[in-house]
Amino acid sequence: MTTWIGKRLAWLILAAVLVSAVNATVRKLFDTSSNSWLELQWVLFGVVFLLCSPWTLLANEHIRIDIVNNLMPKRARNWIDVVGHTLFLAPWCILMIVTGAPFFWRSFMINEQSGNAGGLPQWPSKSLVLIGFALLLAQGLSELIKRIAVMRGHIPDPHESSVSALEAEVERTVEAIEQR
């Protein structure tokens, strides 16, 4: 599910760039602007950041210090993942869900609108916090279960033979150049 969501919503980065470019062009050429277009680009970025983060975790592309991480033995990396998911990721997601639910609900109940003239409704963007962290918690628990199963020898490491997104892109670029 997180892959399906992530692959589709990642395209909203392009939409955010286009909205930003059009808004800047209109502002410079016609000396006019719209708060709703400015807020829309923020919401689009929020959608991508919050709803694609579970996909990033699934693909093992989340932020870490790869140089240090790759120097560690596999057992240490596994334990870092288990401890990190258990003591940091899961509690943080739960905290954001628990505090984000009333934050969203109050906004929804009063149909909160932007404080800026011509701005967008606020409750849809506030729902992204709740939805994003719920999806991230589900993916984090899935990754924790998989990591424990890998450590116990029940399943092979799903990230053992995978290449990073950067490595895959370099390989595709080299292949495209060689075909010409």
Rounded Cα gap, residues 90 and 31, in angstroms:
47
Rounded Cα gap, residues 57 and 55, in angstroms:
5
Parse the chain into domains and list their residue ranges.
2-179
pLDDT tens column, 138-154: 999 999 999 999 999 99
Distances (CA, A) of 140 to 20, 60, 158, 180: 32, 11, 15, 42
pLDDT value at residue 74: 87
pLDDT value at residue 109: 97
pLDDT tens column, 119-136: 899 999 999 999 999 999
pLDDT tens column, 75-116: 998 998 999 999 999 999 999 999 999 999 999 999 999 988
State percent of the chain over pLDDT 70: 96
